[in-house]
Amino acid sequence: MMDANQVAELRRFVQQLKSNPSILHDPSLIFFKEYLRSLGAQVPKIENTERDDEVKAETKPSFSPKHDDGDEFMESDVELDNSDVVEPDNEPPQPMGDPTAEVTDEKRDDAQLEKSKAMEAISDGKFEEAIEHLTKAVMLNPTSAILYATRASVFLKAKKPNAAIRDANRALQFNPDSAKGYKSRGIARAMLGQWEEAAADLHLASNLDYDEEIGMVLKKVEPNAKRIEEHRRKYQRLRKETELQRAERERRQQQEAQEREAQAALKDGHVISIHSTSELEAKTKAAKKASRLLILYFTATWCGPCRYMSPLYSNLATQHPRVVFLKVDIDEANDVAASWNISSVPTFCFIRDGKEVDKVVGADKGSLEQKITQHSSSK
């Protein structure tokens, strides 16, 4: 039994198939497509553009316009030569016989007799009669790969490719090296427009026992199979490029959002009080991301020169809004002062990209203004 989550996944997959049946032509779903066909289902073919019979079909997929966001597109159809493709036969599966039944010499001889009658009917063009004789033969000898392969070849003559595939599968089940089984299945798949699968089967048949008919069918099958493969590679490449573009755009958007967040935390034109090491680290990282000069002003309430410099420091923050002005009270945040080895106040440390690049010690208004101008314009 399937659990609720599996059923939900299956339901979503079916909804996808309803909205885009071409998903079934994905190579990874060949097993599922074959299963549907074995039940008599009709799988939509990859459509080709109508052209004059005299013009050879070429693969020239065209793109539909991209969506406004620039990273979605619709696949074009592959232009294929489907002139010999037939409508699938959706009749009930033919009798296969019981593979566990005992096959006596008498039954084997009777099966051979039915096969002989079938060959006579084939020579007279009586394909349905031949199928009846071969059906009797497989019922008598249900594990004979050659009988199933022979009946498959007659189903092909009767334009019943799905029935031929079922017989070819049974033949290959009993003899995995049945050249006739691969050949019949390959031709049947070509009749259904399953070009890639047909090419694979026909090449296997050719390697096992080549004949001229296989070569003739391959001349028709291989160009279509190659067009489909080229089409798939093209769109796989485009999808990969699209994914890379989307990832790069998302990376840029994330970076821009981080920069906006960092800039918002820096309070342009204001002096920001620091109360802990972690708070200082956060502001230092934000200034680095925003490529800003950061000034760290160490002060104390009992410091006379600091009381003189503090108003000036606030005015400088207003004059240089792109510079980050921080203030640390060494008594309140003594851990910060200790980590910077502050021995006297006021002290002004200049930080660029997380590293100290300069320092002013004492109430030196001129040096402070000169170094702010120097370092704020250095990058």
Q: What is the pTM of this model?
A: 0.52
pLDDT at position 40 is: 66
Comparing 80 with 68, which gets the higher pLDDT? 80
What would the pLDDT profile of 187-245 be if each residue is shown by its tens digit?
999 999 999 999 999 999 999 999 999 999 999 999 999 998 888 888 888 889 989 99
| Angle made by CA atoms 118, 122, 127, in degrees to the nearest 5 | 90
CATH superfamily of 271-377: Glutaredoxin (3.40.30.10)
Look at 286 and 115; give whichever has higher pLDDT: 115
Q: Which residues contact 179 (CB under 8 A, 6 or more apart)?
A: 205, 208, 209
Catalytic site includes residue 303: yes
Cα–Cα distance measured from residue 49 to residue 170, given in angstroms and rounded to the nearest whole number: 36
Instruction: Answer yes or no: is pLDDT of 147 > 70.
Output: yes
Mean predicted lDDT score pLDDT of the chain: 85
> CB under 8 Å, gap of 24 or more: what pairs does 218-221 form?
220/81, 220/84, 220/190, 221/186, 221/190, 221/195
Predicted confidence (pLDDT) at residue 54 exceeds the cutoff of 90? no
CA distance 57 to 151: 33
pLDDT tens digits, 268-320: 889 999 999 999 998 998 888 888 999 999 999 999 999 999 999 999 999 99
Residue 306 designated active-site: yes
Q: What is the pLDDT of residues 319-354, one digit of tens each?
A: 999 899 999 999 999 999 999 999 999 999 999 999
Positions of CATH 1.25.40.10 in the chain: 78-261
Distances (CA, A) of 42 to 39, 148, 192: 9, 23, 10
Where do the CATH 3.40.30.10 domains begin and end in the chain? 271-377
pLDDT at 45: 61
Least confident interval from 10-24, 53-67, 327-341: 53-67
How many residues would you count in the chain? Answer: 379
pLDDT digits (tens, 9 = 90+) for 236-252: 888 899 899 999 999 99
Question: Mean pLDDT over residues 55-78, rounded?
Answer: 42
SS3 letters for 130-182?
A: HHHHHHHHHHHCCCCHHHHHHHHHHHHHCCCHHHHHHHHHHHHHHCCCCHHHH
Q: In what order do the strands lie in the sheet with 294-299?
A: 271-274, 324-329, 294-299, 347-352, 355-361
Identify the pLDDT of residue 68: 40
Given this model, what pLDDT does residue 294 score? Answer: 95
- What would the mean pLDDT of 179-184 be, rounded to a whole number? 96
Q: What is the residue whose two structure tokens read 């599996």?
A: 6
Active-site position among 131, 290, 306, 336: 306
Query: Of residues 303, 360, 368, 372, which has the active-site annotation?
Result: 303
Fold topology of 78-261:
1.25.40
CA distance 69 to 246: 10
